[in-house]
Amino acid sequence: MAVIEKAKETMTAKTRVLKTFAFEKTDRVPIGYEANPGIHARLAAALGLPAGDREALNRALGVDCRGVGAPYTGPCIFKQIEGRRINPVEGSYTRRIENAAGYYEDYCDFPLQDADDDTIAAFPVPDPDDFDLDAVGAQIEKHADFAVFIGGAGVPDIINSNGRIMGMEDVLVHLLTGNEAALRFIDRRIDMHLKVMERTLERYGKKIDFMWLGEDLGTQRAPMISPDLFRRVFRPRHQKFVDLAKAYGLPVMVHTCGSSSWAYEDFIEMGVSGVDTLQPEAADMSPRYLKEHFGGRLNFRGCISTGFPLAFGTAEQTREHVLKTLETMMECRGYHFAPAHCIQDNSPVENVIEMYRAAHRYGVYR
């Protein structure tokens, strides 16, 4: 059975994360973990843990944050399709696709693809009254020593979350052309998420540590949308969430895949505290570039590539990659160690174990 020897800790996870958001010295870098099902199960088995006990694995790795949120408990408002899984909040469908390394839930059967304005207008959005706020209290109590966040990479996630319903081509065309029916639908979904967050913070705001938002903004090489479109359509909608967080004194982390640093000055102006995923292979996303341009002004979470060497290299190459990333990012503080995206199922488990061993070995502040 493999063992991950954790760094000596002199503070709680909650304190560690909050001090990191404030660019203050901590005992070690905060640690995060996201993984696809296949590698998650193999990692748990290698550490002698049941795959279904996510909390035990988080503790073994030293993960510092826990998400909380009100589950949807309302009626099913979307059409059921045989052989498909349906997301009960957004109405998107997936099908299980097997591959040599495991499987993915692949989005399909986009209900608003090629839809006319009336169909878009009639598509249902859950009622904020149908979310169980009482459940959040128990979640917070369970994770009292950890940094607790609300939201996640899927909120408001204008491109991806609506792309799962409309198809990516349709949602990008609607955004570019300013289709009024599509924008009204997007706003209805945003208002639903915002209301649930408002009610959660009204009840539990003093026990929540930060807000997590998401919006994939880049391809590997360049922006996915123009800066002008971002500022006209995306920024004012994201600002509503940032303003809500700031009303409760909470830092805001934004998940941004691909080459997204072109938007970071806007994020700083908006009051965003940190950015997540940070794919180091993408244009203008290397640890050195991010540190030189935004160090001390934004927290960074990620930068540990889920491609080479984690998926295709050796444990030694993985360790070297982690060491170099930490050496760069720890210079300006404000760094949260994490993979650049979900660890993929084709990653050798020994590489993933070495990734977290290296985080504890080299991620200690002297």
Average pLDDT score over residue span 84-96? 97
Predicted confidence (pLDDT) per residue in 219-246, tens digit: 999 999 999 999 999 999 999 999 999 9
Supply the range of the domain harboring residue 199. 13-75+126-362
* Structure confidence at residue 26 as a pLDDT band (50, 70, 90): very high
Helices 315-329 and 287-294 sit at what angle, rounded to 10 degrees?
A: 10
Q: What separation in angstroms does the CA of 350 have from each of 45, 62, 316?
A: 12, 17, 10
Contact 276, 253 (CB under 8 A): yes
Residue 112 resides in a domain = no
Residue 82 resides in a domain = no
Predicted confidence (pLDDT) per residue in 265-281, tens digit: 999 999 999 999 999 99
Give the per-residue pLDDT at 128. 98
Give the per-residue pLDDT at 71. 98
Closest CA to 150 of 65, 34, 74: 65
Predicted confidence (pLDDT) per residue in 129-187, tens digit: 999 999 999 999 999 999 999 999 999 999 999 999 999 999 999 999 999 999 999 99
Q: Which amino acid type is present at position 44?
A: A
Q: What is the mean pLDDT of the chain?
A: 97
Residue 3 resides in a domain = no
Average pLDDT score over residue span 65-92? 97
Residue 27 resides in a domain = yes
Half-sphere exposure of 101 (CA within 13 A, CB side): 15
Our count of domains for the chain comes to 1
Report d(CA 366, CA 30) in Å as an integer.
15
Give the per-residue pLDDT at 273. 98
Average pLDDT score over residue span 90-118? 96
Residue 85 resides in a domain = no
Residue 145 resides in a domain = yes
Q: What proportion of the chain, given as a percentage, has pLDDT over 70?
A: 100
Residue 80 resides in a domain = no
Contact 5, 138 (CB under 8 A): no
**Residue 181's CATH number:** 3.20.20.210
Residue 1 resides in a domain = no
The CB-based long-range contact list for 41-50 (8 Å cut-off, 24+ gap) reads 42/349, 43/349, 43/352, 43/353, 46/1, 46/2, 46/349, 46/350, 46/353, 47/1, 47/2, 47/3, 47/4, 47/353, 48/1, 48/2
